[in-house]
Amino acid sequence: MTAHTWRNWSGTASAHPSRIARPHDEGEVVDLVRASVETGDTIRAVGAGHSFTPAAATEGTLVQLDALDRLEHIGPAAPDCSHLVTVGAGIRLHALCRVLAAHGLALENMGDIDRQSLAGAISTGTHGTGARLGGLATQVHGVRVVTADARVHDVGPDSPDGGAHLFELARLGLGTAGILTAITLRCVPAFMLTATEAPLPLRHVLESIVDLAAADHFEFYWFPGTDVALTKTNTRDGAAPPLAAARRLLEDEALANGVFEVTNRLATAVPALTPRLNRLAARALGARTYTAASHDVFTSPRRVRFAEMEYALPAEALVDALGEVDAWLRCSRENVPFPVEVRFAAGDEVWLSTAYGRPTAYVAVHQYHRLPYARYFRAVEAIMRGYDGRPHWGKLHRRRAADLAPAYPRFADAAAVRDRVDPSGVFANSYVDQVLGARTEPTTAR
């Protein structure tokens, strides 16, 4: 029996690896991979455990890359003033933002939390919101990856001899290309964001969604059973005053986390209270406008634990899909004290990106960690599949490679690269075999 236990942040996944390794440098990663190949064991890298799926799980060696977190290089400015920045793959996003800010730089776009490791975030398709911007993987311009031959490959989009294809799988492929040790990002000059947050009638938001989503960054939250959407519009280089520290503490910590934890516990204990609690939550945070550094506006503390499923839809399908979700919730009376989150992204060309080839709307459903989620998520997933939805690779879903392959025009190409660089499956686990296909169950893209 192993003495090691790993669990993810939400408690939805766990594993019992035979070994937990914490390499101090790239050479030690190479040695770990070589040893796993020689013994026939599996090896997986893990970041902060913020994926809701068992993407990092293994019964072999679990590699924590926290020590690979240093700034390696900042390249010269390009004509658009961006810089290529190389950092250790294990760096956490909040630490990366501080490093970049110290050099007058920033990430072009971010998700709404910053606890993940950079490698984990790009490998699972983490994204923010902004209809003209792609997910985090679109900002990646090079990687160093240790493959199953125990060699370090430094590859990018223009690498020869199959290197460009390896790059595509490595920058978003659930760690199936190998273990990332360094990542090169296109970073932009540091910028400020003005956040305008306001509760608006849900019907108005949906009727005006094309105009609202045209902002630099727009998202909204809708509590089931209410007719109110909490909207957030982030505009670049605005001029509003900063948010007072006391108000941010009250609203982002005391209300958004402390009080929200209490209301979720109440909803768990007394389900009949949930509709009233949702109406209260939808109106608890009033309108506010403030300006801060981009990374301080993009992200917020998330201390109330939950399970999550997220689907990427063609942007034009959003309103109809949300209408079906609303109808199911009202009919089923499912106990859901967490909001539905909606974000947007531009189409991109990253092989396994959920936004591949189409402007995308993301619909994320959440459930408090003390409440059951299976029936709710299953119903929403059925609705999303009806609109050609693609599930987030790092969030809960029930899809399999056979039905995911037709949704990704480059799925077969990704599978071919995986077979070439990891023929024995040293980087495999049951989850990646489920969603990308095991070697004995080849899939065919359309």
DSSP string, 107-129: -S---S---SBHHHHHHTT----
pLDDT higher than threshold 90 for residue 218: yes
Determine the average pLDDT of the residues in 211-217: 97
What is the SS3 assignment for 188? strand
| Residue 23: half-sphere exposure toward Cβ, Cα within 13 Å | 25
pLDDT higher than threshold 70 for residue 24: yes
For residues 298 and 300, give the distance between their C-alpha atoms in angstroms, rounded to a whole number: 7
CA 212 from chain center: how many Å? 23
Residue 186's pLDDT is what?
98
Q: Is the pTM of this model over 0.85?
A: yes
Residue 445's pLDDT is what?
36
pLDDT band at 327 (very low <50, low <70, confident <90, very high): very high
pLDDT higher than threshold 50 for residue 205: yes
pLDDT higher than threshold 70 for residue 2: no
What ranges make up the beta strands (E) of 18-137?
Answer: 19-21, 43-46, 61-64, 71-74, 83-88, 105-106
Long-range contacts of 412-418 (CB under 8 A, 24+ apart): 412/443, 412/444, 412/445, 413/165, 413/168, 413/351, 413/445, 414/168, 414/169, 414/173, 414/351, 414/352, 415/442, 415/443, 417/162, 417/165, 417/166, 417/168, 417/169, 417/177, 418/169, 418/173, 418/176, 418/177
- The 10s digit of each residue's pLDDT in 369-382 is 999 999 999 999 99
Residue 248's pLDDT is what?
74
Decide if 151 contacts 31 (C-beta within 8 A).
no
Specify the DSSP class assigned to residue 241.
P
What ranges in 258-373 are assigned the alpha helix state H?
Answer: 260-269, 274-284, 294-298, 318-332
- The 10s digit of each residue's pLDDT in 297-320 is 999 888 999 999 999 999 999 999
pLDDT band at 245 (very low <50, low <70, confident <90, very high): confident
Residue 282's pLDDT is what?
83
Residue 439's pLDDT is what?
63
Residue 1's pLDDT is what?
41
By percentage, how much of the chain surpasses pLDDT 70?
A: 96
DSSP per-residue codes, 356-419? BTS-EEEEEEEEETTS--HHHHHHHHHHHHTTT-EE-TTS-----HHHHGGG-TTHHHHHHHHH
- The 10s digit of each residue's pLDDT in 264-297 is 999 999 999 999 999 988 877 678 999 999 999 9
Burial class (CB in 10 A: 0-12, 13-18, 19+), 187: buried
Residue 244's pLDDT is what?
75
pLDDT band at 257 (very low <50, low <70, confident <90, very high): confident
Decide if 18 contacts 60 (C-beta within 8 A).
yes
What is the SS3 assignment for 67? coil
Residue 313's pLDDT is what?
98
pLDDT higher than threshold 80 for residue 250: no
- Tell me the pairing of strands 140-146 and 105-106: unpaired
Determine the average pLDDT of the residues in 47-53: 95
End-to-end CA distance of the chain: 44
